[in-house]
Chains A and B, each alone.
Chain A
Amino acid sequence: DIVMTQTPLFLSVTPGQSASMSCESSQSLVDTEGRTYLNWFLQKSGHSPQLLIQDVSRRFAGVPDRFSGRGSGTAFTLNISRVEAEDLGVYYCMQTTHVPFTFGPGTQVDIK
Chain B
Amino acid sequence: EVQLVESGGGLVQPGGSLRLSCVASGFTFNNHWMNWVRRAPGKGLEWVAHISQDGNKKAYVDSVKGRFTISRDNDKNSLYLQMDSVRPEDTAVFYCAKYLGRGIDVWGQGTTVTVSS
Query: Interface on A for B, CB 8 Å cutoff?
Result: 1, 37, 39, 41, 43, 48-51, 54-55, 60, 90, 92, 94, 96-97, 99-106
Taken together as a complex, chains A and B put the C-alpha atoms of A8 and B60 apart, in Å, by: 29
- A92, B44: Cβ atoms closer than 8 Å: yes
Q: How many residues of B contact A (CB 8 A)?
A: 22
- Give the interface SS of chain B, mostly helix, strand, loop or mixed: strand
Q: Which residues of B lie under 8 Å from residue A96 when comparing CB positions?
A: 102-103
- B110, A103: Cβ atoms closer than 8 Å: no
Question: Which residue of A has the minimal Cβ distance to B48?
Answer: A100
- A49, B44: Cβ atoms closer than 8 Å: no
Q: Which residues of A lie under 8 Å from residue B1 when comparing CB positions?
A: none
Q: How far is the CB of A92 from chain B (nearest CB, A)?
A: 6
Q: Which residues of B lie under 8 Å from residue A103 when comparing CB positions?
A: 44-47
Question: Which residue of A has the minimal Cβ distance to B95?
Answer: A48
Query: Interface on B for A, CB 8 Å cutoff?
Result: 37, 39, 44-47, 50, 59-62, 95, 100-105, 107-110
- A54, B47: Cβ atoms closer than 8 Å: no
Q: Which 9 A-B residue pairings sit nearest by Cβ, starting from the closest?
A: A54-B103, A48-B107, A37-B102, A96-B102, A101-B47, A100-B61, A103-B45, A99-B59, A106-B44
- B47, A102: Cβ atoms closer than 8 Å: yes
Q: How far is the CB of A48 from chain B (nearest CB, A)?
A: 4
- Give the interface SS of chain A, mostly helix, strand, loop or mixed: loop
Q: How far is the CB of B34 from chain A (nearest CB, A)?
A: 13
Given A43-B39, A96-B103, 17 additional A-B pairs, CB 8 A: A1-B62, A37-B102, A39-B102, A41-B104, A43-B45, A48-B107, A48-B109, A49-B104, A49-B107, A51-B100, A51-B105, A55-B102, A60-B100, A100-B59, A100-B60, A100-B62, A103-B47
Q: Which residues of B lie under 8 Å from residue A100 when comparing CB positions?
A: 47, 59-62
